[in-house]
Amino acid sequence: MRAVRWIRRNLVVIAGVLTLAYLIVPNLVVLAFSFNKPKGRYNYTWNHFSTDAWRHPCGVPGMCGSLGLSLRIAVYATIGATVLGTMTAFALARYRFRGRAATNMLIFLPMAMPEVVMGASLGTLFLNMRIQFGFWTILIAHIMFCLSFVVTAVKARVMSMDPRLEQAAQDLYASPAQTFLRVTLPLAAPGIAAGALLSFALSFDDYIITSFNAGNSVTFPMYVWGSAQRGTPVQVNVIGTAMFLLAVVLVLAGQLVAGRRRARA
Amino acid sequence: MTTPRTTPGSTPDPAPGSAPGATPETVPAAASGTAPAPGTDSAAAPTPDAPPDAVLLGGLGKRYGSFTAVHPLDLAVPKGSFFALLGASGCGKTTTLRMIAGLEPPTSGSVRLGGKDVTALPAYKRPVNTVFQNYALFPHLDIFENVAFGLRRRGIKSVKKQVGEMLDLVQLGPLARRKPHQLSGGQQQRVAVARALINQPEVLLLDEPLGALDLKLRRQMQLELKRIQTEVGITFIHVTHDQEEAMTMADTVAVMNAGRVEQMGAPADLYENPASTFVANFLGTSNLIEAEVASVAGGVLHLTTAGGPLTLPAARCAVPAAVGGKVLAGVRPEKITLAHRDDEQRIPAGRNRVTGRIADSSFIGVSTQFVVDSPVGAALEVFVPNVDRDQRLVPGAEVVLHWNPEHTFGLDAAQDIDAGTDEEEAA
């Protein structure tokens, strides 16, 4: 009886812990196997502890090159999609113009469409236009699908902004440019940041669309996919773990800064 | 139960005979809705001895398609005055304010600030500042930076001393580094005032600044704003739907209805001499009685009503009245004395009197409010100050309402008798 009551009282906590475990355990497995020294080609069974992979993260040919390409594309795609997406979001949220409904629809499509279809049709388009596949085609494809997410995130923020704040700025002698820089942009910043982060993550790990538009270039997800056929090198676990830890550190730092700001104020 | 819209003691009771004719001199603002035609610049030119008006609107109007939000409006607000634009929601008062601020382009007319035509200037180039309805404080800036915003935009580098002084004026010095959302409603309101006032604008515009505050705080802020206005001497234009707020704070009130200024003047003058049924009903409560002019003699109109004769000083009649013409005779509830029918003989001669039966009474402490049904109209309101309570005055009792004829005002009968009452606002 007492056990039942205890469970009932702590059901939410139990569910929370289970969900967290479900999310974190795979990452911990990846972390653990980044310290493995596998016997043979496959890094699936524990052999013995080693820091080899961490000391030589670029020890496997081609991997760091593909990682560099992925990071470069992710950075450029994030910048491109964030700038274009923010402007689009402002246009959609603030102005009435011809084709607004159509634009709204068009922006929504990449999120709703299966990636295979999008990747294949984009590939066909590049082929027909005789555009050389490679860095630029990947970048264009990534900006396209990241755009939707930036527009969605920024638009939601802009729509919820009080238009009187900008009027107040104008009333207080701020020119239109100053109003945008001093009031509009800072207020929209959380939405823009969310869109940018999402863009980076989506671009960095995209495989399907990229594989249709990459030509001879190999991005990191493509490298992992390719190597998985022959046996994944331990270094892939190292990169995966590093990315995970970086993300955790960034989130913690963000929380810390926000907490300190709140405490100071 | 109807809530009282005025406290009987809030307006001075003019001595009989002094009210008509004498009041116009006490009105500080010199302007009216029937002032010169739009565009006549001669009216705008200041006379050498008088300073230019802080705000001068010439035929300023706003239309949205076929809907006219503000009919071409001529208005002069003298420098240093506390001016209120009073009206129900949707009457065009906020649109007028926004046109002065430059946040709304007018469709006709001009705006002059301190003698300078600013009609073509954008908001950020006009020497006016606004306290917005929900304050519109910048949520990403702290209180100090909110208040410093206007100074910084004008390129002033050392703002610390000025901001500090301004925060002291509104008693918020210790909270300079807080963010707006950490402040209470009343504190936010004061920040909004400080943020606008620090720029020493030609005119400070206040758009329902106290609307979001609870009653007690609102009273406190009314006095606070009045104190600040006296201290800094800047012209205030205050938009509100709260007639009590307008009368408490402003030295001139313009009552707006359906895009027009119905009447303008000092609060007491508007209250005592309403020129339309809207003003009579919107500003406090009025009993309006349909009447016909029976004769005119010696500056006094003798009226016949469904409940007997009444007299009305001709000077207090807003329309020229001829024998046989229809007028509305009005009287404020607190001017009426209520007597039991048994005491009718004791009422002095020469008083206006109306008989009726008490339909309802509610005791509200300082006074008792009676609703009386009578042949001249249903639901006449009477406020009886709580001095000696006559135990016979209960619902169902037959009573006589009597008042000094000087306290009667006359209105044009060709208008909606219920304009400006609560019932109509709700509709």
Minimal CA–CA distance to B423: which of B68, B50, B2, B27? Answer: B2
Assess A177–B contact: CB distance below 8 Å, yes or no.
no
- For residue B46, what pLDDT is reported? 45
Instruction: Give the integer Cα–Cα distance in Å for B423 and B427.
Output: 6
Residues in chain B whose beta carbon is closer than 8 A to a beta carbon of chain A?
101-103, 122-125, 128-130, 132-134, 136-140, 142, 149-150, 153-154, 177-179, 182, 195-196, 199
3-state secondary structure chain B: CCCCCCCHHHCCCCCCCCCCCCHHHHCCCCCCCCCCCCCCHHHCCCCCCCCCCCEEEEEEEEEECCEEEEEEEEEEECCCCEEEEECCCCCCHHHHHHHHHCCCCCCEEEEEECCEECCCCCHHHCCEEEECCCCCCCCCCCHHHHHHHHHHHCCCCCCHHHHHHHHHHCCCHHHCCCCHHHCCHHHHHHHHHHHHHCCCCCEEEEECCCCCCCHHHHHHHHHHHHHHHHHHCCEEEEEECCHHHHHHHCCEEEEEECCEEEEEECHHHHHHCCCCHHHHHHCCCCEEEEEEEEEEECCEEEEEECCEEEEEEHHHECCCCCCCCEEEEEECHHHCEEEEHHHHHHCCCCCEEEEEEEEEEEECCCEEEEEEEECCEEEEEEEEECCCCCCCCCCCCEEEEEECHHHCEEEECCCCCCCCCHHHHHC
b (16+ CB within 10 A) / e for B386-413: eeeeeeebeeebebbbbbbbbbbbbbbb
Measured between beta carbons, the chain B residues lying within 8 angstroms of A176 are: 124
Q: For strand B82-86 and strand B128-131, is the pairing parallel, antiparallel, or unpaired?
A: unpaired
B379 φψ region: left (φ > 0), alpha (ψ -120 to 50), beta (else): left
> What 3-state class would DSSP assign to A217?
coil
- For residue B24, what pLDDT is reported? 38
- For residue A19, what pLDDT is reported? 95
Of A37-51, A219-233, B95-109, B304-318, minimum mean pLDDT range? A37-51
Q: What is the pLDDT of residues B348-366, one digit of tens each?
A: 888 988 999 999 999 988 8
> Please, which pLDDT band fits residue A78 given cuts at 50, 70 and 90?
very high
Instruction: Give the integer Cα–Cα distance in Å for B41 and B44.
Output: 5
Low-confidence spans in chain B with pLDDT less than 50: 1-47, 423-427
A64 φψ region: left (φ > 0), alpha (ψ -120 to 50), beta (else): alpha
B281 CB-near residues (< 8 Å, 6+ apart): B288, B418, B419, B420, B421
Assess A2–B contact: CB distance below 8 Å, yes or no.
no
Which candidate from A168, A178, A179 shows the least CB-CB separation from B136? A168
Q: What is the pLDDT of residues B236-279, one digit of tens each?
A: 999 988 888 888 888 899 998 888 888 898 999 889 988 888 89
Cβ distance A171 to B177 less than 8 Å, yes or no, reads no
> What 3-state class would DSSP assign to A114?
coil
Q: Which CATH number fits domain B278-426: 2.40.50.100, 2.60.98.20, 2.40.390.10, 3.40.50.720?
A: 2.40.50.100
Q: Which fold has domain B23-276?
A: Rossmann fold (3.40.50)
Cβ distance A170 to B122 less than 8 Å, yes or no, reads yes
- For residue B319, what pLDDT is reported? 82
In the predicted model, is pLDDT for residue A177 greater than 80? Answer: yes
Please count the residues of chain A.
265
Assess A248–B contact: CB distance below 8 Å, yes or no.
no
- For residue B31, what pLDDT is reported? 41
Q: Which CATH number fits domain A61-232: 3.30.413.10, 1.10.3720.10, 3.40.50.720, 1.10.150.130?
A: 1.10.3720.10
Q: What is the pLDDT of residues B26-80, one digit of tens each?
A: 334 444 434 334 433 444 444 455 667 888 888 888 888 888 888 888 888 888 8
- pTM for the model stands at 0.74
Cβ distance B177 to A265 less than 8 Å, yes or no, reads yes
Boundaries of every domain in chain A: 2-53, 61-232
Tell me which residue has tokens 């106290």: B210
Which candidate from A176, A183, A264 shows the least CB-CB separation from B138? A183
- For residue B45, what pLDDT is reported? 46
